[in-house]
C-alpha cells in the first residue's frame, strides 16, 4: 500500500534571474526525467509556478487562471483526474526553466520529501546569455516568502492605478512580513513621495539601500529629493556612487542594478553636474553635463542646456552659451522663464559682438 508521505501531487517554486531582472512572461518550467521532457508549465507573472503531478496535459498554466491567453484549459480540465505520483518516480528527474536568452540551473528532485503532497523546490535561477545594461528590481523579491510577494504585487497594481493609500497599505504589509524586502521598501518610498511625505520617503529609501547596497534605484530617488532641497553635498555623494557603478559606463558594475532605460541616465549626470557647479567645481560640472548631453537621446532635460550655457558663459565662450540657450528655448518654448532666457540670450549676443 502506498504511503501518503511518498505521494507527490504538486511541485512548486519560482524562477529568478541572477541579476534580479524580471523573468519574461513566456517562461516555462520543465520536468525532465531520464533526459526527456515529461511536463511543462508556464511561470506566473510573479515568477511562481505550480506543476501538478498525474495530469495528462503536458502544458498547463502555472497560475491556474483560465481567463488568461495561456493554453491552460486542458490542464485545468484534467486536474480532477490527478491522483499524484510516487516520490520514487522522481528519482531521475530534475526541473529547469526554459527562457529565451537565458541559461537555467537544474534542480534535482532526488531526496526531495513532500509535505502534504507538495514539494517546494525554491528558486530555479536563470542567467542571461548576454550582458544587459541594468535591471529594474532588487534581487531580494525572490527571497521573500509568498505572502510578502503577494502583498507587493497588490501594492504595485494599486500604485499603477494611482490608488496610493491602498498601495501604501500593501507595501507596508510586505515589509512587515519580510523586513528585508528592499524592493518593497523602495516602492513604499515612491508612494510616500507621491503623497508628499518626504521624510517618510527618505526613511523608506534609506532602508532599501541598507538592505541591498547594490540596488541603485533608491540612491537615484534620494538624489532627486536632495536636489529639490538644495542639499548639494548629498546630491554629489549619491550621484557619485551611482555613476561609479553605472552599468552603462563601468565594466565592473554588473552586480549593481538600476533601471537606466526607465530612469533616463542623463538625469543622474545632470544632478551630478548641477551639484558640482553649485559647489564651485566647474570643470567636474562640465564633464558630467557633457556626458548628460551625450546620453540624453530623448532630450528630456531642457534645464541641462541652461547649465551648459552658464558654464560656457563663465568661460567667455559666448557662441557656445548662445547655442545652449537657443537649444533650451527650442525644447521648452512655453517655459515660464522664457522671457528671462531671451533677455540673457540678447546680452550674450551683444557680448559676442564686442569680444575680441
pLDDT tens digits, residue range 167-200?
999 999 999 999 999 889 999 999 999 999 999 9
Q: Are residues 46 and 115 in the same domain?
A: yes
Cα-Cα-Cα-Cα torsion 26, 31, 34, 38, nearest 10 degrees, comes to -80
Q: Are residues 190 and 105 in the same domain?
A: no
Domain boundary among 74, 109, 128: 128
pLDDT, one tens digit per residue, over 62-84 is: 333 333 332 333 333 333 334 67
Q: How many Cα atoms are found within 13 Å in the side-chain-facing hemisphere of 345?
A: 17
- The enclosing domain of 53 has a CATH number of 2.60.40.10
Count of the separate structural domains present in the chain: 3
- Closest by CA to 226, choosing from 256, 259, 201, is 201
- Residue 330 grid coordinates: 527650442
For the chain, what percent of residues have pLDDT higher than 70?
78
- The enclosing domain of 155 has a CATH number of 1.25.40
Residue 272 located in a structural domain: no
Q: Are residues 167 and 154 in the same domain?
A: yes
Q: Name the pLDDT band for 5 (thresholds 50, 70, 90).
A: low
Task: State residue 140's pLDDT score.
Answer: 54
Task: State residue 245's pLDDT score.
Answer: 75
Q: Are residues 19 and 105 in the same domain?
A: yes
Q: Are residues 137 and 124 in the same domain?
A: no
Domain boundary among 109, 128, 147: 128
Mean pLDDT over 251-280 rounds to 68
Q: Are residues 65 and 19 in the same domain?
A: yes
Residue 22 located in a structural domain: yes
Task: State residue 238's pLDDT score.
Answer: 94
Q: Are residues 90 and 156 in the same domain?
A: no
Residue 220 located in a structural domain: no
Q: Are residues 65 and 112 in the same domain?
A: yes
Q: Read off the DSSP letter of residue 181.
A: -
Domain boundary among 146, 171, 197: 197
Task: State residue 141's pLDDT score.
Answer: 53
Q: Name the pLDDT band for 214 (thresholds 50, 70, 90).
A: confident
Task: State residue 83's pLDDT score.
Answer: 62
The beta-carbon contacts of 174-177 under 8 Å, at least 24 apart in sequence, are 174/144, 174/148, 174/149, 175/148, 175/207, 177/144, 177/145, 177/147, 177/148, 177/151
Residue 234 located in a structural domain: no
pLDDT, one tens digit per residue, over 80-115 is: 334 678 888 888 899 998 876 678 888 888 878 888
Residue 10 scores a pLDDT above 70? yes
Q: Are residues 116 and 20 in the same domain?
A: yes
Q: Are residues 151 and 179 in the same domain?
A: yes
Q: What domain range includes position 329?
A: 302-356
Q: Are residues 34 and 92 in the same domain?
A: yes
pLDDT, one tens digit per residue, over 114-171 is: 888 889 998 898 887 644 333 334 555 556 788 988 898 899 889 988 999 999 999 9
Q: Are residues 12 and 122 in the same domain?
A: yes
Q: Which residue has the higher pLDDT, 300 or 257?
A: 300
Q: Count the neighbouring beta carbons within 10 Å of the beta carbon of residue 1.
A: 2
Residue 262 located in a structural domain: no
Residue 291 located in a structural domain: no
pLDDT, one tens digit per residue, over 315-338 is: 999 999 999 999 999 989 999 999
Amino acid at each position: 500500500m502506498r504511503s501518503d508521505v511518498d505521494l507527490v501531487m504538486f511541485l512548486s517554486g519560482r524562477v529568478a534571474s541572477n541579476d534580479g531582472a524580471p523573468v519574461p512572461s513566456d517562461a516555462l518550467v520543465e520536468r525532465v526525467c531520464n533526459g526527456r521532457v515529461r511536463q511543462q508549465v508556464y511561470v506566473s507573472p510573479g515568477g511562481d509556478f505550480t506543476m501538478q503531478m498525474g495530469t495528462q496535459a503536458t502544458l498547463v498554466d502555472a497560475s491556474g487562471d483560465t481567463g488568461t491567453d495561456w493554453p491552460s484549459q486542458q490542464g485545468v480540465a484534467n486536474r480532477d483526474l490527478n491522483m499524484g505520483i510516487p516520490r520514487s518516480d522522481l528519482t531521475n528527474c530534475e526541473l529547469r526553466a526554459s527562457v529565451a536568452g537565458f541559461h537555467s540551473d537544474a534542480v534535482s528532485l532526488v531526496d526531495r520529501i513532500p509535505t502534504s503532497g507538495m514539494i517546494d523546490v525554491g528558486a530555479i535561477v536563470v542567467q542571461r546569455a548576454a550582458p544587459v545594461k541594468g535591471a529594474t528590481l532588487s534581487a531580494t523579491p525572490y527571497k521573500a516568502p509568498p505572502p510578502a510577494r503577494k502583498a507587493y504585487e497588490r501594492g504595485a497594481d494599486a500604485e499603477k492605478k494611482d490608488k496610493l493609500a491602498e498601495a501604501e497599505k500593501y507595501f507596508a504589509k510586505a515589509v512587515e512580513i519580510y523586513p528585508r524586502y528592499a524592493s518593497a521598501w523602495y516602492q513604499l518610498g515612491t508612494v510616500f513621495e507621491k503623497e508628499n511625505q518626504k521624510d517618510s520617503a527618505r526613511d523608506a529609501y534609506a532602508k532599501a539601500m541598507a538592505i541591498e547596497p547594490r540596488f541603485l534605484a533608491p540612491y537615484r530617488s534620494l538624489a532627486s529629493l536632495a536636489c529639490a532641497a538644495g542639499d548639494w553635498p548629498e546630491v554629489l555623494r549619491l550621484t557619485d556612487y551611482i555613476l561609479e557603478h553605472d552599468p552603462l559606463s563601468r565594466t565592473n558594475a554588473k552586480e549593481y542594478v538600476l533601471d537606466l532605460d526607465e530612469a533616463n541616465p542623463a538625469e543622474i549626470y545632470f544632478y551630478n553636474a548641477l551639484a558640482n557647479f553649485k559647489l564651485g567645481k566647474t570643470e567636474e560640472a562640465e564633464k558630467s553635463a557633457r556626458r548628460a548631453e551625450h546620453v540624453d537621446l530623448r532630450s528630456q532635460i531642457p534645464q541641462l542646456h541652461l547649465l551648459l550655457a552658464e558654464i560656457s558663459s563663465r568661460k567667455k565662450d559666448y557662441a557656445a552659451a548662445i547655442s545652449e540657450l537657443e537649444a533650451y528655448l527650442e525644447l521648452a518654448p512655453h517655459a515660464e522663464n522664457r522671457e528671462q532666457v531671451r533677455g540673457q540670450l540678447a546680452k550674450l549676443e551683444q557680448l559676442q559682438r564686442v569680444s575680441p
